[in-house]
Amino acid sequence: MLASFVLLALAAATANAHSVMQQIIVDGKAQGALTGIRVPKTNGPVTDVTSNDVICNANVRTPLPTDVINVQGGSKIGLEWHRTIGKLSSDVISASHRGPIQVYMAKVDSATQEDVTGLKWFKVAEQGFDPATNTWAVDDLIKNKGVFDFTVPSCIEAGDYIMRTDLTALHDATKSGAQLYMGCGQLKVSGTDGSATPSTVSFPGAYNKDDPGFNVNIFKKLTSYTIPGPQTFSCDGDNNSGSNTGDNTGDNTGDNTGNTTTTSAADSTSTSDSATKTKTKKTKTKTETETATVTATPAAKFVKRDTGCRKKRGHA
């Protein structure tokens, strides 16, 4: 009897540590709890990144929602996370579940279609780790009362999209593995110019269980962290590949090419972030005057990135 009680208590405590994406906020207007969201039956994590569960979570409730959230290119979207499904409480997720947050979108014929396998996803936002302040995306999520913001790119094709977000908890990464919490929302995008065709990835496929970002020891001092997955798409042509390249400092080494790395201020100078200057000079003749054009891109360092035809910005 005592053993059964202990097991039930442990299970309840574990569930209380988890989280689910439960509300979409468009330009400051909340759309309602669970509206337009494919909600799982439980708030438990997915640990197998090779399974179809890594798309929109395991055991998604049926029937699927019929609501589609209307957004504009350039809209600021808030994704609200909470522990208890259907309850927008102050409980977000256990503070021990530190890790990155990412957002992807996939163009679809209908945002309410049942099948999400085989979709082509592009990343539109991410936040990882800031070694200067020892702050993870989840730390900021809790501070912001469960809301993670991103901007809808204004250069993508208009139409229906599935929006996918994942939160990765790394507290047990080097033992039982990283824990992923996914949520998918149904969007209709308008007001975009359709000038861009983002590079895409597949789920499963975009993540590998051996990615450094899934195998880091967050209890050791980190000077950098590589966010799993592809680079972040941006309308201005800058893929937001990070302020540096490097490895996770902890129990693992190695480079995850193409992923985003955040580094300490001491390491903030790199090829990708250092100021670049290009000068072009026309040939001077007797009838021409000398013309010089100088383009300068200042160095930038940030942790959280989203798109929407904007330049890199500072960590919130």
Query: Each residue of 210-241: pLDDT tens digit?
Result: 999 999 999 999 999 999 999 999 998 754 43
Q: Specify the pLDDT at position 211.
A: 97
* Rounded Cα–Cα distance for residues 127 and 306 (Å): 9
Tokens of 289: 């005057």
Q: What is the pLDDT of residues 290-309, one digit of tens each?
A: 333 333 333 333 345 555 54
- Tell whether the torsion through CA atoms of 71, 73, 79 and 85 is positive or negative: positive
**How many C-beta atoms lie closer than 10 Å to residue 232's C-beta?**
25
CB 39 within 8 A of CB 166: no
Cα Rg for the chain, rounded, in angstroms? 21
Q: What is the mean pLDDT of the chain?
A: 79
Q: Specify the pLDDT at position 78.
A: 98
| pLDDT at position 245 over 70 | no
| pLDDT at position 68 over 70 | yes
CB 74 within 8 A of CB 201: no
Helix (H) / strand (E) element for 15: namely helix 2-16
Q: Specify the pLDDT at position 285.
A: 38
Helix (H) / strand (E) element for 164: namely strand 159-169
Tokens of 255: 């480079």
What residues have CB less than 8 Å from 92, skipping those under 6 apart? 19, 81, 82, 83, 141, 142, 145, 146
Q: Which of 99-113, 169-183, 252-266 has the lowest mean pLDDT?
A: 252-266
* Rounded Cα–Cα distance for residues 191 and 159 (Å): 10
| pLDDT at position 182 over 70 | yes
Q: Specify the pLDDT at position 316.
A: 36
Q: What is the pLDDT of residues 137-172, one digit of tens each?
A: 999 999 999 999 999 999 999 999 999 999 999 999
